[in-house]
Amino acid sequence: MSSEMQSIYISFLNRLDIEALNIQDDEILAAVELGLRMQGEGKTVIHPRMHLEPGIANGHFNVLRGYIGGNIGMAGVKIVGDFVDNYKRGLPSELATLQLFDPETGIPQAIIDAAGITDMRTGAISALGAKYLAPSNPRILCHIGARGTAYWNVRLMDRLFDFEEIRVHSRRPESRQSFAARLEQDLGKKITVTDDWESAVVGADIVVEASRLNQPTPLLKTGWIKKGALVMPYGTMSAVELDLLDIMDKVVMDDWGQAKAGQFGALREHVKTGRLTEETLHAELGEIVVGSKPGRESDDETIIFWHRGLSLSDIALGHAMLKKGEKLGIGQKLRFA
């Protein structure tokens, strides 16, 4: 390498820096919605996620890649581990890093702790999906799953809708109880904890399925879904029945390309068996955000929104955090060259 090469510094935001940013709910939603808008306007490049399975533990790595143009102007790669048994070691199930690059030169711009970004942007996608696809004035939210992205799903959706009732369920009693306690403290409202899936699901206007299963198991029964509900299943291992799509008026995804890659996902079997195709997909969420395709058109529509998680959302939120850190003087500079 030439000694005359210009000095390059990388911005580094660790977990403590992310906490110090104190990013607000509305900032998260705005950043992720901007990414969706750029996608809907065709100003992005996104590749299907890739999986790396070491085969030595109950987990795998997801590798997400993309580029956003416009006011963001960043390429990015996120690598996130998803290890179900990490709680036994006192660790979160998901640990991640996001790298941002100048798309014109390839120069590394930032390395950001992305575990929090993963949770926040997933919650934002759930909330924004509900913004465009939920029935008017939804009053009851059901959330299956209590770890990882669960907290931000509930928090950001409640920010938009201020639910009358929030029901939560997860496999382990201690997990769902602690989850409910945290939500009650932060949201200032009573959370209903259920001992089974059916009690949580029946009658809910919005059903989020973010369970942590070891293998596909159809625990979410199609017959429990209320007509006119919005259903968002996105567990790594499918928890839905094959006939779930039979009752849906619209199927929406964050990105159709994600449906064609990998062996994981809530509707993986539906894609493999031809129950969900590019022709039967109503829209990608970005198309609805920019108005090129309609979202919900009546309260009688029963809609499913399957989001696989987009590198675009990671990049958009990471970019917003990077800019806020620069403004507030939070973060570090690492010498690269």
CATH number where 161 lies? 3.40.50.720
- Determine the Cα–Cα distance for residues 202 and 45; give it in Å rounded to an integer: 39
Same domain, 81 and 136: no
Distant-in-sequence, close-in-space partners of 19: CB < 8 Å, separation ≥ 6: 116
Report the side by side order of strands in the sheet with 44-52.
44-52, 59-68, 74-83, 94-101, 108-113, 9-13, 332-335
Asked if the structure places residue 34 within a domain, the reply is yes
| Residues 306, 316 within the same domain | no
Q: Is residue 327 part of a domain?
A: yes
Examine the domain organization and report whether 68 and 126 are in the same domain: no
Query: What does residue 141 show for φ and ψ, rounded to 5 degrees?
Result: -110, 130
What percent of the chain clears pLDDT 90, i.e. is strictly above it?
A: 78
Task: Give the model confidence (pLDDT) of 11-41 as tens digits.
Answer: 999 999 999 999 999 999 999 999 999 999 9
The tokens describing 332, both together, are: 């570090």
Q: What is the mean pLDDT of the chain?
A: 93
Quick check: 260 pLDDT over 80? Answer: no
Q: Are residues 264 and 180 in the same domain?
A: yes
Tens digit of pLDDT for each residue in 162-185? 999 999 999 999 999 999 999 999
* 150's tokens: 């669960």
Total tally of structural domains belonging to the chain: 2
Asked if residue 319 belongs to a domain, the reply is: yes
68 in any annotated domain: yes
Instruction: Say whether both 126 and 261 belong to one domain.
Output: yes
194 with 294, same domain: the answer is yes
- Domain of 84, CATH number, reads 3.30.1780.10
| Boundaries of domain holding 145 | 122-310
pLDDT, position 262:
62
The pLDDT value given to residue 216: 84
Q: Does any domain span residue 316?
A: yes
For residues 164 and 267, state if they share a domain: yes
Q: Is pLDDT larger for residue 255 or for residue 158?
A: 158
On whether both 331 and 291 belong to a single domain, the answer is no
Q: Is the dihedral of CA 112, 115, 120, 121 positive or negative?
A: positive
- What pLDDT is stored for residue 234 in this prediction? 85
Give residue-wise pLDDT tens across range 239-259.
889 999 999 999 999 998 877
Asked whether the beta carbons of 315 and 69 are under 8 A apart, the reply is no
Letter for the amino acid at 208? V
Task: With respect to residue 40, please indicate whether it lies within any of the assigned structural domains.
Answer: yes
pLDDT score recorded for residue 87: 87
Residue 244 included in any domain: yes
Average pLDDT over residues 316-326: 98
Residues 239 and 130 in one domain: yes
Residue 129 has pLDDT above 60, yes or no: yes
What single DSSP character describes residue 296?
-
Whether 269 and 326 share a structural domain: no
| Whether residue 305 is found in the same domain as residue 180 | yes
Q: How many helices (H) and strands (E) does the chain have?
A: 9, 15
How does residue 261 score in pLDDT terms, banded at 50, 70 and 90? low
Q: Per residue in 99-124, pLDDT tens?
A: 999 999 999 999 999 988 989 999 99
204: amino acid identity, one letter? A
pLDDT in tens, 49-97: 888 999 999 999 999 999 999 989 999 999 999 898 998 999 988 899 9
Is 91 found in the same domain as 206? no
Residue 4 lies in a domain: no
Strands 44-52 and 59-68: antiparallel
3-class secondary structure, 261: coil
